[in-house]
Amino acid sequence: MNITWTIKKFDALTPDELYAFLQLRSKVFVIEQNCVYPDLDDKDQSSYHLMGWENNKLIAYTRLVPPGISYPELPAIGRVVTSLDARRKGSGRELMKMSIDKARELFGNTSIKIGAQVYLKKFYESFGFIQTSDIYDEDGIDHIEMILNNH
């Protein structure tokens, strides 16, 4: 895959970029996973948005959240999503590697926290994330908190 990566603060997004990532999040989290949840949670405005484009189509996205918004002391990587046709081609791995690198550039060499869907635990562990909570229900889907310690 030939992915072009861009990262922008909320107020630098174009309307088309905003629409593209909201549409991708909706397609995957609401429609595919059949989960009605409050996607618009007032965190987008404070976050950085990492977008992976292929042929002018958004295929991969994460939200990089500064410390003090999702978690009091740590930055977070959230809304990790790849389009259906981009899966099983390495785009998810590239997305997470890029997300970790960009989070460390933006927020310093600090630990990073995520709220992960349980079925993706091994995927996140492959990047060094460690489970730090019991399983909890978030919008009808089992989740766990995980931390990637700084190095």
Domain membership of residue 135 (yes or no) is no
Per-residue pLDDT at 37: 77
Domain membership of residue 139 (yes or no) is no
Confidence check: pLDDT of 151 > 70: no
Confidence check: pLDDT of 9 > 70: yes
- Two tokens, residue 70: 């999702």
Work out how many domains the chain is built from and give that number.
Answer: 1
Rounded mean pLDDT, 62-74: 96
Domain membership of residue 78 (yes or no) is yes
- Summarize the chain as % helix, strand, coil (round to 5): 35, 30, 35
**Rounded Cα–Cα distance for residues 37 and 85 (Å):** 23
**Rounded Cα–Cα distance for residues 57 and 59 (Å):** 6
21 is in which domain, residue-wise? Answer: 4-109
Tell me: the pLDDT tens digits for 14-28? 999 999 999 999 999
Domain membership of residue 147 (yes or no) is no
Grade residue 1 by pLDDT with cuts at 50, 70 and 90.
Answer: low
Tell me: the pLDDT tens digits for 102-135? 999 999 999 999 999 999 999 999 999 999 999 9
pTM for the model stands at 0.93
Phi then psi for 35, rounded to 5 degrees? -130, 115
Q: What is the CATH number of the domain that holds 82?
A: 3.40.630.30
Per-residue pLDDT at 65: 98
Rounded mean pLDDT, 49-63: 96
Domain membership of residue 124 (yes or no) is no
Domain membership of residue 75 (yes or no) is yes
Domain membership of residue 14 (yes or no) is yes
Average pLDDT, the chain: 93
Domain membership of residue 13 (yes or no) is yes
